[in-house]
């Protein structure tokens, strides 16, 4: 089974929010909802040695996805061909168990359709050989998509180019997130190790990390 995900190089991210906008436009996401959220990790350090960066947060395509484990109808599932964690809206009964189970708060409630939604890695595009909308429209060329089991995929190649101490993941609660972030020590200190859904930073675009 493939391990498709997105790798974000924070060394290149300029915090333009183009990925948020592209995602909303491509997937016709309702006002106030986001499948991809950019969180500003606010300036930290002591003047004049301050640093800040932007942390795009989307579905982490967890290998041990809690959302699919708790779904009572199979609406949240892993596609056997692509390995992607997806939502079958026709099976969704709106119990929101998957929203509560997600450690990163990246699932959204569609008030109009009364179903749960999330990042699909733009599977309607990737199935046709295209890149996800957020990847295509990244101004800083900071986002990479691909199968981690394919050494020649864009995601794998970008991870290969990065130093080991620059590769980071969101906190692992036993779910084993696949999506990776690259942040070199010379550009900033990784500050997301203590982030959880309860901090609210994964739920909105505003916030800071103390």
Q: Is the peptide bond before 93 cis (omega within 30 degrees of 0)?
A: no
**CA angle, 67 then 191 then 183, to 5°:** 95
Q: What pLDDT, in 10s, does the model give residues 136-182?
A: 999 999 999 999 999 999 999 999 999 999 999 999 989 999 999 99
Rounded CA-CA distance 102/150 in Å is 27
**Percentage of residues in the chain with pLDDT exceeding 90?**
77
**CB crowding 125-152: b at 16 or more within 10 Å, else e:** bbeeeebbbbbbbbebebbbbbbbeeee
- The pLDDT value recorded for residue 195 is 55
Tell me the pLDDT band of 70, cut-offs 50, 70 and 90. very high
Rounded CA-CA distance 16/151 in Å is 29
Q: Helix, strand or coil for residue 99? A: helix
Q: Which two tokens stand for residue 9?
A: 């190089």
Direct distance between the N- and C-terminal alpha carbons of the chain, in angstroms, rounded to an integer = 39
pTM value surpassing 0.85: yes
Alpha carbon 32 to chain centroid, angstroms: 18
Q: Helix, strand or coil for residue 82? A: coil
Rounded CA-CA distance 63/192 in Å is 20
Query: Is 117 in contact with 87 (CB distance < 8 Å)?
Result: yes
The DSSP symbol for 24 reads H
The pairing of beta strand 76-78 with beta strand 85-87: antiparallel
User: Out of 18-32, 38-52, 191-205, which region has the weakest mean confidence (pLDDT)?
Assistant: 191-205
The pairing of beta strand 4-9 with beta strand 180-182: parallel
């Amino acid at each position: 089974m493939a391990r498709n995900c997105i790798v974000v190089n924070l060394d290149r991210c300029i915090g333009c929010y183009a990925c948020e906008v592209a995602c909303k436009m491509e997937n016709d996401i309702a006002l106030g909802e986001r499948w991809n959220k950019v969180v500003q990790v606010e300036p930290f350090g002591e003047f004049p040695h301050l640093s800040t960066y932007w942390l795009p947060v989307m579905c982490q395509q967890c290998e041990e996805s809690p959302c699919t484990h708790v779904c009572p109808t199979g609406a949240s599932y892993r596609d056997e061909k692509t390995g992607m964690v997806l939502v079958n809206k026709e099976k969704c009964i709106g119990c929101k168990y998957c929203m509560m189970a997600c450690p990163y708060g990246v699932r959204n409630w569609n008030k109009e359709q009364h179903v749960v939604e999330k990042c699909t890695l733009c599977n309607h595009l990737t199935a046709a050989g295209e890149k996800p909308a957020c990847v295509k429209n990244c101004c800083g060329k900071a986002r990479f998509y691909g199968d981690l089991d394919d050494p020649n995929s864009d995601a794998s190649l970008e991870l290969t180019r990065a130093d080991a101490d620059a590769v980071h993941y969101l906190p692992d609660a036993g779910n084993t997130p696949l999506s990776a972030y690259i942040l070199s020590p010379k550009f900033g200190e990784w500050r997301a190790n203590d982030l959880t859904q309860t901090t609210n930073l994964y739920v909105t675009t505003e916030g800071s990390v103390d």
